[in-house]
Structure 1
Amino acid sequence: MAADTAPAGTPDRTPRGTPDKTPTGTRDRTPAETRGGAGAGRETAEAVPAGAAGPVRRSPLAWWRRQSLRFRLTATASAALAVALAVAAYLLVGVLGRALTASTEAIAYQRAREVVALADDERLPDPIAVTDGTIVQVVDARRRITHVTAGADRLVPLADPRVPSGDRGRMVDGGPFGIPGPLLVVVLRADDGRTVIAARPFKDVADSLTTTVHMLALATPVLLVLLGAATWLIVGRTLRPIAALRRGAAEISGTARARRLPVPEARDEVHELATTLNDMLARLEATEASQRALVSDAAHELRSPLASIRLQLEVALGHPDGQDWPETAEGVLEDTLRLSRLAEGLLTLARLDERRRPARWEPVELADLARAMAGRYDEAVVTVERAERAVVRGDALDLGRVLVNLLDNAVRHASARVSLDLRASPEDAVITVTDDGPGIPEQDRERVFNRFTRLDGARSRDDGGAGLGLAIVRETVRAHGGAVHLEDAAPGLRAVVRLPLSPSPE
């Protein structure tokens, strides 16, 4: 079946009758896959499209991403520094060359002007006295050299006298005149058709530029290596607190939840990161502790009704003849309803803990909702003192559960009466539920909003509940952007709920 796996258009060079000894599973592997194994295969899938032929090419960007942050920062800084040094060296050599050339041109031009002035005044000496090494030739109208500096050529002009004159010099090879290196020549016109040619050797300037280039070529790599090493050390020292954070995070486990990450002394971004992470760990630890407490309390609350159901059923099954089955069914049903209420409360708290927006986010008229919830109780016990119109945005079922939980709690502890009051202010709606019961001590008014928290008086009651009612009230009110607290009603207790009004009531 080799023909089925060979690429299209590739001739089959396997001799006929020769057995296929290719190991199973290696027939379609490329050389890169054979060398690199599974990792090379993944890179092949990323770098080469399906069905493409040709050798596998690893992306330089993928290699770059696999390097450490310290290496990438050092390499990037070194590359930027190398470019900056190369540009600076180029500019330095260019500026230095232009400056030396301009200085040489200025000297040659100055000497040529002086000789022109002497020629025009017919005061030219022979030889021309020049002490700074400038070579001067004076050529007459018939192209004969009439005056020169000492040692200059009297037969061949350094430049063609017919070239335009000016202060700009031109380069001439000094070899034919016995002068090593190039010459920078300036040509000026004098009276009577004479031409003054002034030249200065350029070898010293060229040697200076060459020496400068050599020094830069040697010093720049050394400087680059030194600065790269310094960058490597500085980046490593900068990343040392991050490495300490990583080691500290690796040491934190389920058995060491109270540990915190090391905070560096420097007040920099790493210090802020460590502080933020420690705050996050503290919040996670508090959340975990709350969840553990919730699981423990939930298990404790579930154990009582389950034990009661088990006991009633075991007694009924052990003595079926003398058992009052309707009474047993009522007892089991009562414990089942208690379990159902507990499960419903836990599910409600779980949804509120996720901080999700209520599914039915709509305008809610609190006055109608308050009257409807109060109508579920005996009018002789629960009365609506006032119900002003107030529209809020939220979940009507959740807000109704808030009123029911507050009214249930008030009715459970009231001596005779419970009053419900709703008033609207310019910014929010205020709901108060007041009972005339024994009240709650001031030091316990905040604690009762915790989950599974019941005061001793409530625990002694058979219908005291699981201690989730007020916790559900607070979480629901917070989800709607409001707040709830308890205060003394003298006598009794007053629960106060504030909810923001809808900005655009419908």
Structure 2
Amino acid sequence: MEGGCAVRGPLSSLLPRSIRARFTIAAAALALVALTVIGAGVDYSIRNMIEDHIYKETGRVATDWIASMRPDRIPPPITTPRIDLLQLVDSRQHVVAASAAAAGRPPLSTLLPPTDDRIQSGTRCSPGTGCLMLTAVRIFPQEVGLLWGGETHVVYAAMRQPPVLATRELELVTAGLVLVGVGLVALTTWLLVGRTLRPVAAIRSRIAEITVSDLSLRVPEPRSDDEIGQLARTANRTLAQLEESVAYQRHFASMVSHELKNPVAGLQTQLEEALLYPGQVDRDETIRSALSTATRLRAIIDDMLVFARVRNVSPEGPAPVDLTRLVRDEVVARATGVPVRADAEPGVRVLGNHIQLAAVVSNLMVNAQRHAATSVEVTVRRSGGHAVVAVTDDGDGIALRDRERVFEPFVRLQDGRRRDPKGSGLGLAISRAIALAHDGTLTIEDSPRGARFVLRLPLFDAGPPPRAEGAPEGLEGRDGDSGRRGPAREAVRTT
């Protein structure tokens, strides 16, 4: 198939596109098959029941007549309103005695039951008389010996076949009831499916009204907790997330344009001055300044790409990460500047991307060193099913009102601008995005002095980490002096 188009078969092309109609047709077809089978069974049972009742009655009338016969006389048969045809026939097919309705007629049947099966029933049809339902009873040999000197005699008791059996009336009634039943099933299915799909139609109508410019609308939620109710609630949650994402993207785009506007404007001004006043402007200084501005622009763009990638793409290839070893490696890497002390519980493991988590820890340590007065302390602990990494400095701290603002993209406090004028303001935003991508959190908590950044990640319980080959027992100390650097990673700029 070209273009990925599905080829519809001849059967599917004949079916209606409406789910309601398809369910109704399917239910009607199943009902037709089931009710036809049931109707045929009921018809067969009714016929058998009527025939059995008639044959029992004809057999009883025949045996009663036989019981009343005497050697000196044969009494007239006692008929019933329905069983009025009785005949006594000898072995030469001569009618010896008969009821008034059967007098003058030839033998009702030529059926001669054997001695071991004296009573037999059946239906006999002829063009003149129609169909008769009769029972043939062969008289006992003892009685035959007393009455007729051993000559075989048979009594026939019959009645005309009732119309319910002689015609197709029963089949027509059964077929009519089957069709009525199929119609009721189809109507019920049509109404039930229509009622069931009514919320779906409302959801579809509301979704058709939603546009990218207005994502505030929500689909109606049924009160029931069935599949349609769950679909509506899922759709509303998806719409809420989509609205939040679009709003965030618009806000982020606005902030990006604001952050890039000033460096681009400054770069343009410098280059225009160099062209307008070639004799008054030092071109080498202009080029160096333009390169510096371009470098800052590139750094901002790189950070924006990292932030967008971390926020929108889940970590690839999650694997167990030893946070204890990772923190100690980062502490060793911070050998210059304000001293960093580590207090790491051994064997704290999480599941995630080693490079991204190392970038978060490195970012937090660099920030802490930048704002600390004399020292930075890093702790790694297990707490309530989470790995907790706390980075605390002894600087001026962060005001309570700014503890969430610092995680917003491009937000830089006054002290941060003073200490790092070339920062992009994306470091903490990237760090929080990485934490969220790992089902964790990154927050600022109260501290007696300075700022305390706390990273929480779900623990990975896979047993203690394997000890490095050749490493002596007790190397996993408090000060993180493993002396080995972790894998190379992408640079993430800090705030």
Common fold by TM > 0.5: yes
Q: Work out which of the residue numbers 109, 114, 121 in structure 1 matches 2:64.
A: 114
Shift of 1:375: 4.2
Shift of 1:75: 1.4
Q: Work out which of the residue numbers 153, 171, 179 in structure 2 matches 1:213.
A: 171
Q: Work out which of the residue numbers 162, 165, 169 in structure 1 matches 2:121.
A: 169
CA distance in 2, matches of 1:442, 1:84: 73
- Structure-to-structure mapping, 1:12-161, within 5 angstroms: 59-64=9-14, 67-119=17-69, 121-122=70-71, 125-134=74-83, 135-140=85-90, 143-153=93-103, 156-160=106-110
Deviates most, 219-228 or 125-134: 219-228
Matched residue type, 1:345: D
Q: Which residue of 2 aligns with 1:386?
A: 343
Q: Work out which of the residue numbers 107, 126, 131 in structure 2 matches 1:181.
A: 131
CA distance in 1, matches of 2:132, 2:293: 113
Deviates most, 371-380 or 336-345: 371-380
User: Does the 8 A contact of 2:341 with 2:378 survive in 1?
Assistant: yes
For normalisation by structure 1, the TM-score amounts to 0.78
Q: Residues 425 and 240 from structure 1, CA distance in 2 versus in 1: closer, same or farther, beyond 3 angstroms?
A: closer
Shift of 1:297: 1.1
Q: Residues 150 and 133 from structure 1, CA distance in 2 versus in 1: closer, same or farther, beyond 3 angstroms?
A: farther
Q: Which residue of 1 aligns with 2:487?
A: none
Q: Residues 149 and 443 from structure 1, CA distance in 2 versus in 1: closer, same or farther, beyond 3 angstroms?
A: farther
Q: Which residue of 2 aligns with 1:27?
A: none
Shift of 1:433: 1.2
User: Does the 8 A contact of 2:109 with 2:156 survive in 1?
Assistant: no
3-state SS of 1:103 partner: helix
Shift of 1:298: 1.3
State whether structure 2 residue 455 is matched by structure 1 residue 503.
Answer: no
Shift of 1:380: 5.4
Shift of 1:280: 1.2
Q: Residues 497 and 311 from structure 1, CA distance in 2 versus in 1: closer, same or farther, beyond 3 angstroms?
A: same
Shift of 1:171: 1.2
Q: Residues 442 and 199 from structure 1, CA distance in 2 versus in 1: closer, same or farther, beyond 3 angstroms?
A: farther
Q: Work out which of the residue numbers 331, 344, 350 in structure 2 matches 1:374.
A: 331
- Structure-to-structure mapping, 1:285-300, within 5 angstroms: 285-300=243-258
- Structure-to-structure mapping, 1:310-321, within 5 angstroms: 310-321=268-279
Shift of 1:79: 1.5
More contact order relative to length (CA 8 Å, sep ≥ 6): 2
Shift of 1:101: 0.2
Q: Which residue of 1 aligns with 2:425?
A: 467
Q: Residues 161 and 403 from structure 1, CA distance in 2 versus in 1: closer, same or farther, beyond 3 angstroms?
A: closer
User: Does the 8 A contact of 1:158 with 1:197 survive in 2?
Assistant: no
Q: Work out which of the residue numbers 289, 293, 298 in structure 2 matches 1:331.
A: 289
Q: Which residue of 2 aligns with 1:396?
A: 354
RMSD: 3.3
Matched residue type, 1:128: P
User: Does the 8 A contact of 2:337 with 2:369 survive in 1?
Assistant: no
CA distance in 1, matches of 2:91, 2:16: 78
| Residues 181-209 of structure 1, C-alpha deviations (whole Å, 9 max, x = no match) | 33333323232244332332242154576
Shift of 1:285: 0.5
- Structure-to-structure mapping, 1:425-436, within 5 angstroms: 429-436=387-394
User: Does the 8 A contact of 1:482 with 1:497 survive in 2?
Assistant: yes
User: Does the 8 A contact of 1:166 with 1:187 survive in 2?
Assistant: yes
Structure 2, gaps ≥5 residues long: 145-149, 467-495
Q: Which residue of 2 aligns with 1:490?
A: 448
Deviates most, 317-326 or 102-111: 317-326
Shift of 1:313: 2.8
Q: Residues 127 and 368 from structure 1, CA distance in 2 versus in 1: closer, same or farther, beyond 3 angstroms?
A: closer
3-state SS of 2:443 partner: strand
Q: Work out which of the residue numbers 242, 259, 277 in structure 1 matches 2:200.
A: 242
User: Does the 8 A contact of 1:169 with 1:185 survive in 2?
Assistant: yes
Shift of 1:339: 2.2
Shift of 1:318: 3.6
Shift of 1:240: 2.9
3-state SS of 1:169 partner: strand
Deviates most, 337-346 or 371-380: 371-380
Shift of 1:457: 4.5
Structure 1, gaps ≥5 residues long: 1-40, 48-57
User: Does the 8 A contact of 2:406 with 2:412 survive in 1?
Assistant: yes
User: Does the 8 A contact of 2:113 with 2:138 survive in 1?
Assistant: no
Q: Which residue of 2 aligns with 1:282?
A: 240
Shift of 1:94: 0.9
3-state SS of 1:156 partner: coil
3-state SS of 1:431 partner: strand
Q: Which residue of 2 aligns with 1:34?
A: none
For normalisation by structure 2, the TM-score amounts to 0.79
Deviates most, 380-389 or 429-438: 380-389
Deviates most, 402-411 or 103-112: 402-411
Matched residue type, 1:110: R
CA distance in 2, matches of 1:373, 1:307: 38
Q: Work out which of the residue numbers 291, 316, 320 in structure 2 matches 1:358.
A: 316
State whether structure 2 residue 366 is matched by structure 1 residue 408.
Answer: yes
3-state SS of 1:292 partner: helix
User: Does the 8 A contact of 1:187 with 1:197 survive in 2?
Assistant: yes
| Residues 114-139 of structure 1, C-alpha deviations (whole Å, 9 max, x = no match) | 123223x5476442222334222223
CA distance in 1, matches of 2:235, 2:322: 43
Q: Residues 66 and 230 from structure 1, CA distance in 2 versus in 1: closer, same or farther, beyond 3 angstroms?
A: closer
Matched residue type, 2:122: R
Deviates most, 66-75 or 277-286: 66-75
User: Does the 8 A contact of 1:118 with 1:124 survive in 2?
Assistant: no
Count of residue pairs brought into register by the alignment = 450
Deviates most, 485-494 or 375-384: 375-384
Shift of 1:107: 0.3
| Residues 423-443 of structure 1, C-alpha deviations (whole Å, 9 max, x = no match) | 567965432211112222334
